[in-house]
A and B are shown apart, each in its own frame.
Chain A
């Protein structure tokens, strides 16, 4: 859930596609454009930073990655970055959380490890983003 200071709230859902909706109103969810091949499986919202982070898989489940979205415009998020991540074993990413400048994630591996990264501070240039996405496709 993304809670804005003006009392509005938005619900982000990971179900393969990434969707967003106002939970207090009727209507269909908005499908968010994300990199091809990314299937979203877990999500958290960092309301203070207007960031949503999605954990998921790419390459038909072969690798895990997280996607960072700028949700300053809640119904029209923009991709900030996508990072490929791995756990201690073969499992996929199953949980993600973000607050402050931090992103945390866990895998369904046989470990106690918690992955940690810093949020990307600003939107990348289109060329930089394309470069990142091309490396993980």
Chain B
């Protein structure tokens, strides 16, 4: 891996974390329902919600989840999608299989018993790069997988149903950098990529060209860094708390 060749100090960090707990991630809806990943033994294929209005925490298990999914490592939300149906669309990536799943998250007011409901909609079927660090974000029909050192991928999803395209529209496209541990979307066509470059860490702004199915680097900002890989936890960390180099 390039990252090991160019950053020998990271060897210990990356290898030492193989048996360690995976970094957990979390997002929240505008009305106070958080959804996060879990490291609890036997529950990594589950997702956890916390409703701030009731202080109720629930672990959601999905009986119809594909067997290839080993556990979830990062989550994202599109609060605008499925709003007409009274829900929001949540996404979760499994760094091990390189697959992404979408879920319908329904708030208390729209469920019969006033509980938080999280239902699997479906998963992608073609693996994309996720190693050694990966993050996802989604907005208005575009989902981006940062891809680690293997390149960035994008998927489309139907904003009225939350259903993901089974195959990526852009798959593992590199931008001539070492890698991207995570991503945040400014809009559905502009991605902010946490970037490990040959000269340090920074932020890459990239335009997503849906028609040509390509990603074009627009600009780059170097980011002041004092922690390097000191607190890095692989593999499935988002920029949000992931590689310490950039959290968006």
Quick one: which of B30, B37, B40, B186 contacts A48, CB cutoff 8 A?
A: B30
State in angstroms the CA–CA spacing of A110 and B245 once bound together. 24
Check: A40 CB closer than 8 A to any chain B CB. yes
Type the 1/0 row for A81-104, where 1 means its CB is closer than 8 Å to any CB of B.
Answer: 000000001011111111111101
In the complex, are the beta carbons of B48 and A112 less than 8 A apart? yes
User: Contacts A11-B192, A116-B52: A99 and B31 contacting too (C-beta < 8 A)?
Assistant: yes
Type the 1/0 row for A3-38, where 1 means its CB is closer than 8 Å to any CB of B.
Answer: 000000101111111010101101111010000000
Q: Which residue of A is nearest B24, CB measured?
A: A106
Q: Which residue of A is nearest B17, CB measured?
A: A108
Interface residue tally for chain A (C-beta within 8 Å): 54
Interface locus among B104-112, B151-159, B167-175, B217-225: B217-225
Contacts of B39 in A (CB 8 A): 108-112
Interface residues, chain B, with chain A CB atoms under 8 Å away: 20-32, 34, 36-41, 43, 46, 48, 50, 52, 55, 57, 59, 184, 186, 190, 192, 201, 203, 205, 219, 221-227, 230-231, 233, 237-238, 240-242, 244-248
Contacts of A92 in B (CB 8 A): 231
In the complex, are the beta carbons of B244 and A15 less than 8 A apart? yes
In the complex, are the beta carbons of A114 and B26 less than 8 A apart? yes
In the complex, are the beta carbons of B248 and A104 less than 8 A apart? no
Check: A113 CB closer than 8 A to any chain B CB. yes
Contacts of B20 in A (CB 8 A): 108
Q: Which residue of B is nearest A43, CB measured?
A: B247
Quick one: which of A1, A29, A105, A109 contacts B192, CB cutoff 8 A?
A: A1
User: Contacts A94-B233, A104-B26, A112-B38: A41 and B203 contacting too (C-beta < 8 A)?
Assistant: no
Q: How far is the CB of A136 from chain B (nearest CB, A)?
A: 18
B-side interface mostly: loop
Across chains A and B, the number of contacting residue pairs, with CB separation under 8 Å, is 176
State in angstroms the CA–CA spacing of A107 and B225 once bound together. 22
State in angstroms the CA–CA spacing of A89 and B233 once bound together. 16
Contacts of A100 in B (CB 8 A): 30-32, 52
Contacts of A114 in B (CB 8 A): 26, 34, 36, 48, 50, 57
In the complex, are the beta carbons of B248 and A11 less than 8 A apart? yes
Quick one: which of B46, B237, B241, B246 contacts A96, CB cutoff 8 A?
A: B241
Contacts of B41 in A (CB 8 A): 110
Task: Give 17 pairs: A residue, B residue, CB < 8 Å, sorted on A.
Answer: A11-B186, A13-B247, A15-B227, A23-B190, A24-B186, A27-B221, A29-B224, A44-B27, A94-B237, A95-B24, A95-B25, A95-B36, A99-B28, A106-B36, A109-B39, A112-B59, A114-B36
In the complex, are the beta carbons of B240 and A43 less than 8 A apart? yes
User: Contacts A61-B231, A112-B57, A116-B55: A96 and B240 contacting too (C-beta < 8 A)?
Assistant: yes
In the complex, are the beta carbons of A26 and B219 less than 8 A apart? yes
User: Contacts A15-B223, A116-B52: A23 and B24 contacting too (C-beta < 8 A)?
Assistant: no
Check: A71 CB closer than 8 A to any chain B CB. no
Q: How far is the CB of B218 from chain A (nearest CB, A)?
A: 9
Contacts of A105 in B (CB 8 A): 26
Q: How far is the CB of B20 from chain A (nearest CB, A)?
A: 8
Quick one: which of B22, B223, B238 contacts A19, CB cutoff 8 A?
A: B223
Quick one: which of B186, B219, B224 contacts A1, CB cutoff 8 A?
A: B186
Check: A74 CB closer than 8 A to any chain B CB. no
Q: How far is the CB of B15 from chain A (nearest CB, A)?
A: 17
In the complex, are the beta carbons of A113 and B30 less than 8 A apart? no
State in angstroms the CA–CA spacing of A54 and B226 once bound together. 16
In the complex, are the beta carbons of B184 and A1 less than 8 A apart? yes
In the complex, are the beta carbons of A97 and B34 less than 8 A apart? yes
